[in-house]
Amino acid sequence: MADGRDIPLWDNHAQQCREANRVLFEFDPTKENAGGWLRKKVLAVLQPGSLVLDLGCGPGYWRKLFEGMDYTGFDQSTGMLELAKEYPSERPNWVQGNAREVDHHFSTGNFSLVFVASVLQHNRHEPDKREIVEAAHRIIKDGGYFLLTENTFRADNRPQSVGNPDDTDGYSFTPAGWEKFMLSLGFKLLDFNGQSEYLFQKG
């Protein structure tokens, strides 16, 4: 995660994950659910060995989404990164830092793709959410990608958002709201899946 105010919370959550014996996520690109859409998009837009950053990676549960790529996990929580290192990995590369300053750790235009999973929705203090995307924009190469899965308002989870594309609680947005937010920061929407998965491109 990126909100430094919550580091103890995420360190504690890492211990809870360890005690629950959670495992790395699996992805089947032939299926639209369970992350299959995300894996299919990764394979469609990236070449093998492409540089990928999992921003707010936690224990790295999403790393198999990027099998065949040059993967780096980035998180502020020491507890989360310690847990990430306990899982087998062919090419472990873990970096600690605040996501709002991720561009201090990597070269401009370094990555082909940056991925976030439930990171932006947790950064509720203005301007944290915007600063994370701005920093990610700087380290993504021209024409590169921002892949995200974030809480999205729908009829089933926020009925008042129906017919109100600008509805927000400061945490999350409608699909149109996410598109508008990301467009304002230099990313155009390429594709959207079902409830919460988005592929954006820089430029």
Q: What is the CATH number of the domain that holds 158?
A: 3.40.50.150
**Residue-by-residue DSSP string for 150-180:** --B--TTT-GGGTT-TT-B-SS-B-HHHHHH
- Counting Cβ atoms within 10 Å, is residue 182 exposed (0-12), middle (13-18) or buried (19+)? buried
Note whether 149 and 196 are within 8 A (CB): yes
**Strand (E) or helix (H) holding 181:** helix 175-183
* pLDDT in the model for residue 88: 82
For residue 127, say if its preceding peptide bond is cis, omega within 30 degrees of 0. Answer: yes
* pLDDT in the model for residue 31: 83
Task: Check residue 121 and report its DSSP letter.
Answer: G
The Cα–Cα gap between 109 and 129 comes to 20
The structural domain count of the chain equals: 1
Per-residue pLDDT of the chain (203 residues; tens, 9 = 90+): 445 557 788 888 889 999 999 999 999 988 877 689 999 999 999 999 999 999 999 999 999 999 999 999 999 999 999 999 998 876 679 999 999 999 999 999 999 999 999 999 988 777 899 999 999 999 999 999 999 999 999 889 999 999 999 999 888 999 999 999 999 999 999 999 978 999 999 98
Domain containing 105 equals 4-202
